Amino acid sequence: MKQRISYLINLFLAFLLFFVLQKIVFVYLNEPLPAGDLFQVIVHGLGLDASTTGYLLIFPFLIVWLSIWMRRMKTKAVLRPYFILIAILLSLICVADTSLYTFWKFKLDATIFNYMDAPKQAMASVSTGYVVMRLFWITVFSVLLSWTCIRLTPKSFPVLPINLKMLLHNFTYVLLGGLIFLAIRGGVGRSTMNIGNAYFSENTYMNHAAVNPAFSLMYSWNKSENFAEKYNYLDEHKRAACYAPLYPASTEDCTRQLLRATRPNILIIILEGFGGEYIEELGGAKNVSPNISRLIREGIFFDNVYANSFRTDRGLVSTLSGHISYPTTSIMKLPAKSRLLPGIARTLQQAGYQTDFLYGGDINFTNMRSYFTTTGYQHLTSDTDFSLQERTSSSWGAHDEYTFDRLYEMLESRPADRLWHTGFLTLSSHEPFEVPYNRLKDKRQNSFAYTDHCLGEFIDRLKQLPVWNNLLVICLPDHGSSPTFNVTSPTFYHIPMLWLGGAIKAPAVIHTLMNQSDMPATLLGQLGLPHQDFKYSRNIFSTSYTYPFAYSTFSDGFMFKDSTGVTIFDNAARKPVYNEPAPDGAREEKGMAILQTSYDQLGEN
């Protein structure tokens, strides 16, 4: 039994060493790094390498297990073709990744299959010698890897007697299979292994160098679909005519200036699921959020905002990138797409701000790390930066009281002469709604009351610091919420947005209909910064904002709201499921035009 386990361990290490060597070659041929940086690339890439290796070990693991029962199995003869095939595929992937990165500047992914039907055109930019040299290295690496794996593999394993000890060996082998599964999954946490696990630096190239190319290709292939073919409700002429006036080219003029400072420090607090259902001023439950009610009277309250989506990963993109939401996919989980998104953090960074993001949970969940890094956040703080007691205080990570305390400590120490932007996502007002707070009997409402309590205490403490004088605090949720999670009701999407801080001119209430995705353009417009790359975000104080509407999506459906009413359309049923005050074909067609255009554009990238 020891020989079998030792063999699998050696095989695991062989594949791992191959991937380490791949990183060294990748860095050497693309952009050499100092030894310390290269070491960081290797270390942070080991998670994806181990996961990929776990996949590669599944077949050998099963064969070795079968050899316990099939006493005449010639293990080497069975596994030799597998190792040759895997060696060729891995070598092809690694050489292609290293070579194409020079031209593409992103890791190998399913995009490469778009060029398979036109290989001549794909090779037009390189010489014959270039191709021949790559084929040579593919051959060399294939031979070396397959030879190593075959050399490690014995012709057959010793026969085990059929007795109680053999059953114990099988149990041990099952445990080994469990370890391989954990390597594939990336541990026992909430998040499974994804591209973002390798991201660790502000330097995009170093992050890319750490990513395993085979994992990148496999991950993107699994996530890929023909987006452009979905939701073709309208012919092209009608789609274009309906869509054109909805998102006009944004202008940088502002008809109303809310801020007294042109370069305030900016804190964006994203409140997990804190929809209008829990805000009395929006018609929600009373006494759930008294602190927010108090702060509404002190700040600028936007009372006609609608969330773009129903999930955190999608709401974060709408909030921080001003991007539209999709009913059937999350762009955050598509690194090849999300890397092209604009970001408030990147725009502010270009204007001289230092940027960071705080989240008390697993920042690898839904590929958040990759998204935050590529959209401009220079430093990330997450669950692993908290004590064990703090980060296990809830099933999602550090409770809000700990993260608000950490946020306060971070801001308290900020130098006065430095511009900064911090993003912060809370997590306690999330299922299972178990919080260290007992003010309300209803468990769900009590969790929102807890977050409200933490927010109120934090703002009160912040007001005592010098940083408050030049600070803009923007509070809004990632998505709406309701006790019944009724996504076919417009109240589900109705959310609060509140601007606070010493940087605002005066308290006010803004009644303009808008989406949460309009916040970036509206904010950047107030700062006099360009926001043309936020194509789905509208500055609601611009002269170009002449047709206020809100567009939201849920699982395979959309909501469209304007001054005439609300239409909620179910794509599966292919009909409206909600109309208020009455059915309206124009609203329906405008929603279809946005849905169809968004998927067409997603398919083009």
Q: Which residues are catalytic?
A: 312
CA distance 121 to 127: 12
Amino acid letter for position 529: L
Q: How many CB atoms lie within 10 A of CB 192?
A: 14
Neighbours of 433 (CB within 10 A): 17
Identify each DSSP E strand in 227-284 by its residue range: 265-271
Residue 409, annotated ligand binder? no
Helix 164-185 and helix 35-69: axis angle, to 10°?
150
CA 107 to chain centre: 17
Q: Is 49 a known ligand-binding residue? A: no
Least Cα distance to 138 among 94, 77, 190 occurs for 94
Look up residue 283 and give its DSSP letter: T
Q: If 0-12 CB within 10 Å is exposed, 13-18 middle and 19+ buried, where does residue 89 land? A: middle
422 is annotated as contributing to ligand binding: no
The b/e string for 111-127 (b: 16+ C-beta within 10 A; e otherwise) is: bbeeeeeeeeeeeeeee
Q: 292, 246, 144: which is closest to 538 by C-alpha?
A: 246
d(CA 142, CA 165): 39
Q: Name the strand (E) or helix (H) holding 559.
A: strand 557-562
On whether 518 is known to bind a ligand per the annotation, the reply is no
* 430 assigned ligand-binding residue: yes
Q: Which of 142, 484, 534 is nearest to 320 (CA)?
A: 534
Cβ atoms of 450 and 400 closer than 8 Å: yes
Binding residues for substrate: 430
Binding residues: 272, 312, 430, 478-479
Binding residues for Mn(2+): 272, 312, 478-479
